Amino acid sequence: MIENNYRAFDQIAPILITDLFERHNGLLVFGSIMVELKLLIVSFIALYSFAQIIECLPVRKKKICHFLPENEKLLFSNFKRRNHPRSKNYRHIPFYINKELSYDEPTNLIIHTHYDKSFYDFPSNILKLYKDYLIPEAIKYWENSLKVKYRYFPILLGRSCVNLQLVFDDSTKSVACETDCSETTKCGDYITIPEEHLDTCKYCVNNKSCTNRGKQKGGIKADFILYISAIDSRHCNASNTVAFASYCQLESKYNRPVGGYVNICPHSVSTKKSDIDPALATLKHEILHALGFSAGLFGFFLDANGNPLTERNPSTGKPPFNTKTNMYEASSRVVQNVKRSNWKIGNKRITRNIKMLITPKVLAEVRKHFNCSTLEGAELEDQGDIGTRLTHWEKRVFENEAMTGTYTQNSVFSKITFAFLEDTGWYIANYSMAEELRWGSNLGCDFVKKSCKSWMDSRREKNLSIQPFCDYIPANENVNTKYECNEQRDAVLLCNMVEYSHEIPTIYRNFDSYYHQNHSHAKNWLPRYSFSHLGGSVALADYCPFMQQVSWSMNNEIRDSRCIYEENSPDKSKNYILENYGSKSKCFSHSRSWLIYTNECTSRITVSKTIGCYQVIFYFLFKI
């Protein structure tokens, strides 16, 4: 027997009624008949609950990686110009010399996909899912989102040289191999580029006698060649890595990436319905790295007129190369170092150095999004290795923006990322394809320019909500766990704050005292170690704790707290608050705890969870 005062209806019905009236101006239309809305009844049917609070953990963090190509392996490809009779004579000429080539009007991006043989090792059901749906959908998204400003095709990718040794032929103003051309050319470390994708190769012995190798093919009629593999490489063995990607060849005139790869880690694939959306978001993310979202390409960005934003070396036509970072460096017109004084951490303040992308369209979008007119640009990630640091948006600032360094929940490709793509100088973005980023929207300069500790402290002092951050450990036995619905009401959220067994790096310490919202009885609780061990479970977010979807393990399966997936259903015997997960379900809050009577009503159990997922069914009573 389950007892509740059912006041949840009092919270839900006004929301749904208000929504209906806003959309229909107080009237429902059925065909040509106008009917007055008289009564709305909301019915709930149950399926699922969380079994034990202690079993709930923040949703699994998916590591999505980008690996910069080694400078010696980065090739600059050439093109046969359509309807341009002299183009053949200008192939192999670096962009800073070739001034006679014209370009077409911007047209939608065309991506040609080539599957490596390793991809076909997948079982048939996974092969079908990825080849027939996920990969085509991800490619279609970017083809519909981007137009190419400077089109040169068919593509003929460059061939590698033996020992990666190149010489510059002054007589023909072209690059050649010093000793010989390689028998095979790879995109990344593992994928062999097919012969029909490759241009001829010239090698010059002693820089004098030059010979061409290979037969020139027709090339690929596309703007970009994407190689897809499924190799269980050393990169896949890194914790939680689901896929990695990079570009491997750039066009020689404007340096836009024209060849790249995505490797799907075989151990990460799943055909579960609830894993489809994250897999699609991951593929979109990785493809975008290959298309140009990379710190290794910042130095090649162009202004609106096609001129380099970073000064080029007149002898090579390239930006300066930093051997320590293995990247071409960008000028201060692209990336700037910003000092944040009075940055609040722990019980003190420091000066923190931040790298920001400051290109014009990105600058306009971030100022608009955060409602901060003095914001200098978009903050770049400062943690992780070279494949994460600088080549993603800062997780603390952009959380579920898809181009942050780890997948947490509800990835969206926002207008800020679309602005980045336009600021490369290579693309025109279709902003109607961008998705809404709610994180940080209109929260102002205090949110985006200060630490999360500063934000939380100042909000508490004003008796305001500290959202989107939080400050309690869900599994603490002295605290009633506080669940919340996300803004879209399609998932149950939990604070991802944890107590680490080690100290958090000083720069990321966000607590010098401990608070529990609405849990006054926990004020005297102290952590096992010290406050320097407290923080959010997502390190890339500067250890700032925030409300996050949760996942838990049950019967050797991972389930999560998204309302729309029926597979998130528990054993019926533990469905204490009559939840129902399914395609028509939404997240709602109750007014108080539920009581469970057992043993013929002689025993009573209190279930403190006051948030759940419920199917919404409408019954309309109306008169004509």
Q: Give SS3 for 397.
A: helix
Q: Is residue 478 a contact partner of residue 521, using CB atoms and an 8 Å limit?
A: yes
pLDDT (0 to 100) of residue 518: 39
- Residue 76, φ and ψ in degrees, nearest 5: -110, 115
SS3 track for 31-53:
CCEEEEEEEEEEECCCCCCCCCH
pLDDT tens across 207-216, in order?
A: 667 778 777 7
Bigger pLDDT: 526 or 210?
A: 210
Residues counted in the chain = 624
Highest mean pLDDT among 74-83, 382-391, 547-556: 382-391
pLDDT of amino acid 20: 34
How high is the pLDDT of residue 3?
A: 38
pLDDT digits (tens, 9 = 90+) for 574-599: 787 888 899 899 998 887 777 888 78
Q: What is the chain's Cα-based Rg? A: 28
- Average pLDDT for 321-349: 93
Residue positions in the annotated binding site for Zn(2+)? 285, 289, 392
* Per-domain boundaries in the chain: 2-49+570-623, 63-292, 327-445, 463-552
φ/ψ (deg, to 5) at 148: -90, 130
Our CA dihedral for 361, 363, 368, 373, rounded to 10 degrees, sits at: -140
Q: Are 296 and 289 in contact (CB under 8 A)?
A: no
Question: Is residue 503 flagged as an active site residue?
Answer: no
Q: Give the DSSP per-residue string, 345-377.
A: ETTEEEEEEEEEE--HHHHHHHHHHHT-TT--S
Which residue from 587, 479, 452 is spatially nearest to 49, judged by alpha carbons?
Answer: 587
Residue 376 burial (C-beta neighbours within 10 Å; 0-12, 13-18, 19+): middle
CA separation for the pair 523, 478 (Å, rounded): 10
Task: Flag the least confident range among 55-64, 103-112, 309-318.
Answer: 55-64
83-97, 161-175, 381-395, 534-548: which has the minimum mean pLDDT? Answer: 83-97
- Phi/psi for 547 (5° steps) reads -70, 130
Tell me: pLDDT of 278 over 80. yes
| Cα 569 from Cα 555, distance rounded (Å) | 12
* DSSP-derived pairing of the beta strands 155-156 and 75-79: antiparallel
Distances (CA, A) of 143 to 139, 207, 337: 6, 42, 34
Could you tell me if 286 and 244 are in contact, meaning their C-beta atoms sit under 8 angstroms apart?
Answer: yes
Return the CATH class of domain 63-292.
alpha beta
pLDDT at 520: 41
Q: Which superfamily does CATH assign the domain made up of 327-445 to?
A: Leishmanolysin , domain 2 (3.90.132.10)
Q: Classify domain 463-552 at the CATH superfamily level.
A: Leishmanolysin domain 3 (2.10.55.10)
Q: What is the mean pLDDT of the chain?
A: 79
Count Cβ atoms below 10 Å from residue 17 Cβ, excluding itself.
14
Mean pLDDT over residues 354-361, rounded? Answer: 98
Task: Say if residues 614 and 585 touch (Cβ distance below 8 Å).
Answer: yes
Task: Return the structure tokens found at 559.
Answer: 């389930």
The yes-or-no verdict on residue 196 having pLDDT over 60 is: yes
Among 226-235, 267-276, 573-582, which stretch is predicted with the lowest mean pLDDT? Answer: 573-582
CA–CA separation, 356 vs 339, rounded Å? 10
Exactly one of 55, 70, 137, 286 is catalytic; which is it?
286
Residues annotated in a binding site: 285, 289, 392
β-pairing, 241-251 vs 75-79, is parallel
CA atoms within 13 A on the CB side of 53: 19
Q: What pLDDT score does 592 carry?
A: 76
Nearest to 497 by CA among 440, 526, 539: 539
The dihedral sign for the CA sequence 449, 455, 457, 461: positive
